[in-house]
Amino acid sequence: MKLLRFGEPGRERPGIIDSQQQIRDLSSIVGDISGQTLTPEGLAKIQACDINTLPVVSNTHRIGPCVSGVGKFICIGLNYVDHCEETGAEVPAEPVVFMKATSAITGPNDGVIMPRGSEKLDWEVEMGIVIGRETRYVDEADALDYIAGYCVVHDVSERSFQLERGGQWDKGKGCDSFGPIGPYLVTADALSDPLNLDIWLSVNGKLYQNSNTRNMVFGPAKLVSYLSQFMSLQPGDIISTGTPPGVGLGQKPPVYLKVGDKIRLGIKGLGEQEQSVLSSV
Protein backbone atom coordinates (compact mmCIF):
# COMPACT_ATOMS: atom_id res chain seq x y z
CA MET A 1 0.00 0.00 0.00
CA LYS A 2 0.94 3.63 -0.56
CA LEU A 3 -0.37 5.76 2.31
CA LEU A 4 -0.28 9.54 2.41
CA ARG A 5 -1.81 12.63 3.97
CA PHE A 6 -3.38 15.50 2.04
CA GLY A 7 -4.70 18.96 2.89
CA GLU A 8 -3.47 22.19 4.41
CA PRO A 9 -0.88 22.16 7.23
CA GLY A 10 -2.46 21.01 10.46
CA ARG A 11 -5.63 19.86 8.69
CA GLU A 12 -4.35 16.90 6.68
CA ARG A 13 -6.53 13.84 6.10
CA PRO A 14 -5.40 10.24 5.53
CA GLY A 15 -5.33 8.82 2.02
CA ILE A 16 -4.29 5.82 -0.03
CA ILE A 17 -3.23 5.54 -3.67
CA ASP A 18 -5.31 3.11 -5.72
CA SER A 19 -4.29 1.00 -8.73
CA GLN A 20 -5.13 3.91 -11.06
CA GLN A 21 -2.76 6.20 -9.12
CA GLN A 22 -5.70 8.18 -7.73
CA ILE A 23 -5.81 9.33 -4.11
CA ARG A 24 -8.69 7.86 -2.09
CA ASP A 25 -9.86 9.41 1.18
CA LEU A 26 -9.29 7.05 4.12
CA SER A 27 -11.00 9.26 6.71
CA SER A 28 -13.90 6.81 7.13
CA ILE A 29 -11.46 3.99 7.93
CA VAL A 30 -8.70 5.57 10.06
CA GLY A 31 -8.29 8.92 11.76
CA ASP A 32 -4.80 9.65 10.43
CA ILE A 33 -1.60 8.03 9.15
CA SER A 34 0.05 7.95 12.56
CA GLY A 35 1.64 5.43 14.89
CA GLN A 36 -1.62 3.71 15.80
CA THR A 37 -2.51 3.25 12.13
CA LEU A 38 0.94 1.88 11.29
CA THR A 39 0.76 -1.06 13.69
CA PRO A 40 0.02 -4.50 12.17
CA GLU A 41 -3.57 -4.17 13.43
CA GLY A 42 -3.99 -0.70 11.95
CA LEU A 43 -2.59 -1.68 8.55
CA ALA A 44 -4.78 -4.81 8.52
CA LYS A 45 -7.84 -2.59 9.00
CA ILE A 46 -6.94 -0.64 5.85
CA GLN A 47 -6.12 -3.80 3.89
CA ALA A 48 -9.54 -5.24 4.76
CA CYS A 49 -11.47 -2.36 3.17
CA ASP A 50 -12.43 -2.01 -0.49
CA ILE A 51 -10.55 1.15 -1.38
CA ASN A 52 -12.41 1.45 -4.68
CA THR A 53 -15.51 2.44 -2.72
CA LEU A 54 -13.71 5.36 -1.03
CA PRO A 55 -14.04 8.95 -2.31
CA VAL A 56 -11.52 10.07 -4.94
CA VAL A 57 -9.49 13.11 -3.89
CA SER A 58 -8.72 15.95 -6.27
CA ASN A 59 -5.06 16.12 -7.29
CA THR A 60 -5.07 19.85 -6.51
CA HIS A 61 -4.72 19.17 -2.77
CA ARG A 62 -1.39 19.81 -1.06
CA ILE A 63 0.41 16.60 -0.02
CA GLY A 64 1.43 16.70 3.63
CA PRO A 65 4.04 14.73 5.57
CA CYS A 66 3.23 11.05 5.11
CA VAL A 67 3.31 10.34 8.87
CA SER A 68 1.61 12.36 11.60
CA GLY A 69 2.66 12.71 15.22
CA VAL A 70 6.21 11.42 14.76
CA GLY A 71 7.70 10.77 18.20
CA LYS A 72 11.36 10.40 17.20
CA PHE A 73 13.16 11.48 14.03
CA ILE A 74 16.44 9.58 14.18
CA CYS A 75 19.17 10.08 11.58
CA ILE A 76 22.18 8.02 10.57
CA GLY A 77 25.33 9.79 9.40
CA LEU A 78 28.02 8.58 7.02
CA ASN A 79 26.09 5.48 5.94
CA TYR A 80 27.33 5.27 2.32
CA VAL A 81 30.98 4.34 1.78
CA ASP A 82 31.50 6.81 -1.05
CA HIS A 83 29.85 9.62 0.94
CA CYS A 84 32.42 9.01 3.68
CA GLU A 85 35.14 9.37 1.07
CA GLU A 86 33.81 12.66 -0.32
CA THR A 87 33.60 14.21 3.16
CA GLY A 88 37.01 12.89 4.23
CA ALA A 89 35.56 10.76 7.02
CA GLU A 90 36.39 7.18 7.92
CA VAL A 91 33.78 4.51 7.29
CA PRO A 92 32.20 4.08 10.75
CA ALA A 93 32.51 0.79 12.61
CA GLU A 94 29.09 1.42 14.17
CA PRO A 95 26.22 3.62 12.99
CA VAL A 96 26.62 7.35 13.62
CA VAL A 97 23.38 8.47 15.29
CA PHE A 98 21.89 11.94 15.75
CA MET A 99 18.40 13.39 16.13
CA LYS A 100 16.44 15.73 13.91
CA ALA A 101 13.76 17.90 15.53
CA THR A 102 10.24 16.71 14.72
CA SER A 103 9.32 20.38 14.23
CA ALA A 104 11.47 20.23 11.07
CA ILE A 105 8.98 17.87 9.39
CA THR A 106 7.10 19.27 6.39
CA GLY A 107 5.33 18.03 3.30
CA PRO A 108 7.36 16.73 0.36
CA ASN A 109 6.75 19.79 -1.81
CA ASP A 110 6.70 22.51 0.83
CA GLY A 111 9.40 25.16 0.65
CA VAL A 112 12.80 24.79 2.34
CA ILE A 113 13.31 27.89 4.46
CA MET A 114 16.85 29.25 4.64
CA PRO A 115 17.34 30.04 8.35
CA ARG A 116 18.70 33.36 9.55
CA GLY A 117 22.49 33.45 9.44
CA SER A 118 22.69 30.51 7.04
CA GLU A 119 25.86 30.35 4.94
CA LYS A 120 26.09 26.71 3.86
CA LEU A 121 22.64 25.26 3.18
CA ASP A 122 22.99 21.73 1.81
CA TRP A 123 20.89 18.85 0.46
CA GLU A 124 20.75 15.14 1.38
CA VAL A 125 18.32 12.63 -0.14
CA GLU A 126 17.71 9.66 2.14
CA MET A 127 15.48 6.63 2.56
CA GLY A 128 13.32 6.73 5.67
CA ILE A 129 12.32 3.70 7.74
CA VAL A 130 8.98 4.01 9.56
CA ILE A 131 8.53 1.85 12.65
CA GLY A 132 5.32 -0.17 13.01
CA ARG A 133 5.73 -2.05 16.31
CA GLU A 134 7.15 -1.17 19.70
CA THR A 135 10.78 -2.20 19.47
CA ARG A 136 13.25 -3.05 22.24
CA TYR A 137 16.41 -5.16 22.04
CA VAL A 138 15.44 -6.71 18.71
CA ASP A 139 17.76 -9.17 16.99
CA GLU A 140 18.85 -8.21 13.49
CA ALA A 141 17.29 -11.39 12.10
CA ASP A 142 13.85 -10.24 13.33
CA ALA A 143 14.20 -6.48 12.86
CA LEU A 144 12.47 -6.18 9.49
CA ASP A 145 9.25 -7.42 11.14
CA TYR A 146 9.16 -4.17 13.13
CA ILE A 147 9.13 -1.89 10.07
CA ALA A 148 5.78 -0.54 8.85
CA GLY A 149 7.19 0.95 5.65
CA TYR A 150 9.57 3.26 3.88
CA CYS A 151 9.53 6.80 2.49
CA VAL A 152 11.68 9.52 0.95
CA VAL A 153 13.33 11.91 3.42
CA HIS A 154 15.15 15.12 2.57
CA ASP A 155 17.69 15.65 5.37
CA VAL A 156 18.28 19.35 4.72
CA SER A 157 21.44 20.51 6.49
CA GLU A 158 23.11 23.80 7.38
CA ARG A 159 26.80 22.91 7.38
CA SER A 160 28.12 25.97 9.19
CA PHE A 161 25.62 25.36 12.03
CA GLN A 162 26.44 21.63 11.98
CA LEU A 163 30.22 21.73 11.82
CA GLU A 164 31.42 25.19 12.85
CA ARG A 165 29.30 26.09 15.89
CA GLY A 166 30.90 24.13 18.69
CA GLY A 167 29.77 20.58 18.04
CA GLN A 168 26.46 18.71 18.00
CA TRP A 169 25.23 17.99 14.48
CA ASP A 170 21.65 18.58 15.63
CA LYS A 171 22.13 22.37 15.37
CA GLY A 172 22.50 22.10 11.61
CA LYS A 173 19.75 19.53 11.14
CA GLY A 174 16.67 20.61 13.05
CA CYS A 175 15.68 24.01 11.61
CA ASP A 176 12.08 24.48 10.53
CA SER A 177 11.41 22.88 7.10
CA PHE A 178 14.60 20.76 7.24
CA GLY A 179 12.70 17.44 7.19
CA PRO A 180 10.37 16.96 4.20
CA ILE A 181 8.96 13.40 4.24
CA GLY A 182 6.85 11.62 1.62
CA PRO A 183 5.05 11.94 -0.73
CA TYR A 184 3.78 8.63 0.61
CA LEU A 185 4.72 5.74 2.85
CA VAL A 186 5.12 2.43 1.03
CA THR A 187 4.26 -0.43 3.37
CA ALA A 188 6.96 -3.04 3.86
CA ASP A 189 4.94 -5.79 2.20
CA ALA A 190 4.78 -3.75 -1.02
CA LEU A 191 8.55 -3.22 -1.29
CA SER A 192 10.44 -6.29 -2.46
CA ASP A 193 13.95 -5.12 -1.59
CA PRO A 194 14.69 -1.83 0.22
CA LEU A 195 18.39 -2.43 -0.44
CA ASN A 196 18.10 -2.20 -4.22
CA LEU A 197 16.50 1.18 -4.91
CA ASP A 198 17.89 3.94 -7.13
CA ILE A 199 18.21 7.19 -5.16
CA TRP A 200 18.87 10.63 -6.67
CA LEU A 201 18.73 14.41 -6.20
CA SER A 202 19.11 17.38 -8.57
CA VAL A 203 19.40 21.13 -8.02
CA ASN A 204 18.21 23.51 -10.73
CA GLY A 205 18.15 20.58 -13.14
CA LYS A 206 21.72 19.42 -12.43
CA LEU A 207 22.02 15.86 -11.07
CA TYR A 208 24.24 15.80 -7.99
CA GLN A 209 23.31 12.58 -6.18
CA ASN A 210 22.78 9.35 -8.12
CA SER A 211 23.25 6.06 -6.30
CA ASN A 212 21.47 2.95 -5.03
CA THR A 213 20.50 1.93 -1.51
CA ARG A 214 22.61 -1.23 -1.91
CA ASN A 215 25.62 0.99 -1.20
CA MET A 216 24.63 1.53 2.44
CA VAL A 217 27.13 0.57 5.11
CA PHE A 218 24.33 -0.51 7.48
CA GLY A 219 20.99 -1.70 6.09
CA PRO A 220 17.51 -1.34 7.61
CA ALA A 221 17.63 -4.54 9.69
CA LYS A 222 20.96 -3.61 11.25
CA LEU A 223 19.83 -0.04 11.98
CA VAL A 224 16.56 -1.02 13.66
CA SER A 225 18.29 -3.70 15.74
CA TYR A 226 21.18 -1.38 16.65
CA LEU A 227 19.00 1.54 17.71
CA SER A 228 16.74 -0.73 19.76
CA GLN A 229 19.71 -1.52 22.01
CA PHE A 230 19.89 2.14 23.09
CA MET A 231 16.28 3.35 23.00
CA SER A 232 12.84 1.92 22.50
CA LEU A 233 11.22 2.65 19.15
CA GLN A 234 7.50 3.29 18.83
CA PRO A 235 5.11 3.05 15.87
CA GLY A 236 5.45 6.15 13.73
CA ASP A 237 9.09 6.83 14.62
CA ILE A 238 11.26 7.58 11.58
CA ILE A 239 14.86 6.53 10.95
CA SER A 240 16.54 8.45 8.13
CA THR A 241 19.19 6.08 6.82
CA GLY A 242 21.91 8.41 5.52
CA THR A 243 22.76 9.98 2.18
CA PRO A 244 24.82 8.87 -0.81
CA PRO A 245 27.64 10.98 -2.30
CA GLY A 246 27.01 14.20 -4.16
CA VAL A 247 26.11 16.61 -1.38
CA GLY A 248 27.05 20.26 -1.75
CA LEU A 249 29.75 20.00 0.90
CA GLY A 250 31.50 17.34 -1.17
CA GLN A 251 31.74 19.37 -4.39
CA LYS A 252 35.07 20.88 -5.39
CA PRO A 253 34.64 23.71 -4.60
CA PRO A 254 31.61 23.24 -2.32
CA VAL A 255 28.22 24.30 -3.69
CA TYR A 256 25.44 25.49 -1.41
CA LEU A 257 21.78 26.31 -1.88
CA LYS A 258 20.55 29.85 -2.49
CA VAL A 259 17.12 31.42 -2.22
CA GLY A 260 15.18 30.54 -5.36
CA ASP A 261 16.97 27.26 -6.06
CA LYS A 262 14.79 24.31 -7.12
CA ILE A 263 15.47 20.87 -5.63
CA ARG A 264 14.08 17.57 -6.96
CA LEU A 265 14.77 14.25 -5.33
CA GLY A 266 13.40 10.75 -5.26
CA ILE A 267 13.82 7.05 -4.67
CA LYS A 268 12.57 4.42 -7.11
CA GLY A 269 9.29 3.02 -5.84
CA LEU A 270 9.01 5.56 -3.02
CA GLY A 271 8.13 8.67 -5.03
CA GLU A 272 9.59 12.12 -5.59
CA GLN A 273 9.78 15.47 -3.83
CA GLU A 274 10.24 18.98 -5.21
CA GLN A 275 11.09 22.09 -3.18
CA SER A 276 12.06 25.70 -3.66
CA VAL A 277 14.45 27.46 -1.28
CA LEU A 278 12.70 30.35 0.46
CA SER A 279 14.10 33.23 2.52
CA SER A 280 13.48 33.24 6.26
CA VAL A 281 10.80 35.54 7.68
User: Which ranges in the chain are annotated with CATH 3.90.850.10?
Assistant: 73-279
Which helix (H) or strand (E) covers residue 86, if one does?
helix 81-87
Which helix (H) or strand (E) covers residue 201, if one does?
strand 198-203
User: First-to-last CA distance in the chain?
Assistant: 38
The pLDDT, as a whole number, for residue 254 is 96
Rounded Cα–Cα distance for residues 166 and 14 (Å)? 41
Rounded Cα–Cα distance for residues 21 and 196 (Å)? 23
**168: confidence class by pLDDT, cuts 50, 70, 90:** confident
Q: How far is CA 209 from the centre of its chain?
A: 16
The pLDDT, as a whole number, for residue 220 is 98
pLDDT digits (tens, 9 = 90+) for 11-65: 999 999 999 999 999 999 999 999 999 999 999 999 999 999 999 999 899 999 9
Torsion of CA 95, 140, 224, 109, to 10 degrees: 100
**167: confidence class by pLDDT, cuts 50, 70, 90:** confident
The pLDDT, as a whole number, for residue 179 is 98
Rounded Cα–Cα distance for residues 121 and 113 (Å)? 10
Backbone angles phi, psi at 223, to 5 degrees: -65, -45
Rounded Cα–Cα distance for residues 156 and 104 (Å)? 9
Predicted model pTM: 0.96
Name the CATH architecture for the domain at 73-279. Alpha-Beta Complex (3.90)
pLDDT digits (tens, 9 = 90+) for 188-237: 999 999 999 999 999 999 999 999 999 999 999 999 999 999 999 999 99
Query: Are 148 and 31 a contacting pair, CB within 8 Å?
Result: no
Rounded Cα–Cα distance for residues 123 and 117 (Å)? 17
**277: confidence class by pLDDT, cuts 50, 70, 90:** very high
